[in-house]
Structure 1
Amino acid sequence: MTAEPTRSAGRMRASDTDREAVVEQLREAAAEGRIDLEELDERLGLALTAKTHAELAPLTDDLGPAAVDPVEPLTVKGGVQGAERTGRWKVPPRIIAHGGLGGVRLDFSQAECRLREIDVDVTAGVARVVLVVPVGWKADTDAVDLSFGRLKNKTSGTHLPGKPILRITGSCGMGRIQIRHPNFRERRKQRKDLSR
């Protein structure tokens, strides 16, 4: 009875984000010496042409727990107190942000990101969800449902080659979604962190 969902999940079509996550894991495995360059080339070719999750899974199954589920999302819930992800952190291919009552702030300024696209599913609720992105990153907000809330994209809009695209979906609810570049205080803190 439980095998059917697994088979269905395996047949699900893989997205560019799913393929990119597997490619990143394979590159890391090669850098750590867990697979050689010949095997890396072979697996990369298969990853880039994979159409389903079932085709992607075997490419990382033998690389340990970190590679078991390439599409495991990062979930950040604001709750009552609010939540944030700042400083140095590794950006996964998918992020779920629930504003709750306290709001959520995701600061990508110092985050490690080698992905071309990141799916960010936002539910602002009654709070504010703030995404702080470096200059050159693009935020695609076409799929966001405004509902009774507000969406403000204060970024420059310039997308530099090789920089990530945030594909933002979800709903503002009665709250706010704001995308912006680091402010003066945040830039000053980054400079201090880098000088340590």
Structure 2
Amino acid sequence: MPFGTLRQAPNHYHMKPFLILTFFTLFFSCSTPDKGKSLFDDLVDKETVVINLIDYTLDSIPSEIGRLKKVQSLSIGNQRDTGWVAYPPLLARIEQPPFQQLPDEITELSDLKTLRLVGLDLNRLPDKFERLQKLDTLDLFFNKLTISDELEKLKKLENLTYLDIRGNKVDTADIRALKESNPHLTLRSGLE
């Protein structure tokens, strides 16, 4: 080929800048979060909310739970299992990690009357849990709570009429203390 003659580049060289630009456009459009959308946006105005953490690809309850100011009935679970088997013995399960905690923001849900926290590996309740004074139903089934450590918080829930603490570390002294502080309480402990 004589000097100064232009030669057309093979087609794959023309495509390279296009492919790189396309890759970066797709990568950044998929990885940049939607700044106008927050977790639980679709639930903010609801009075009854059921959250399955696995549907949100969450391992624990996020602090955004405090945004649900209008909620009166809240159920949170994690259905990663199709069922449960208490083997090894339940006490061994309770004392084994993973452990989860409720974010303090849940205590800002002042209209909450029913709270179900089932199978979440919770090992403690927030320090200001007694702020949930409208709470009349509390289901803590199958967590990893030591009820004697949570007694003072539970006794301060004066409107509580139903409490399920089955599947947690509980003893007869805990049951007696809860019944003395609230004689009208229907209590499910697994020790009945």
Q: Could you say whether these structures have the same fold, taking a TM-score greater than 0.5 normalized by the shorter chain as the test?
A: no
Bigger relative CO (Cα 8 Å, ≥ 6 apart): 1
Q: Which band: TM-score by shorter chain? A: 0.3 to 0.5
Task: Name the one with the larger strand percent.
Answer: 1
Q: Which has the larger radius of gyration?
A: 2
Q: TM-score normalised to the size of structure 1?
A: 0.32
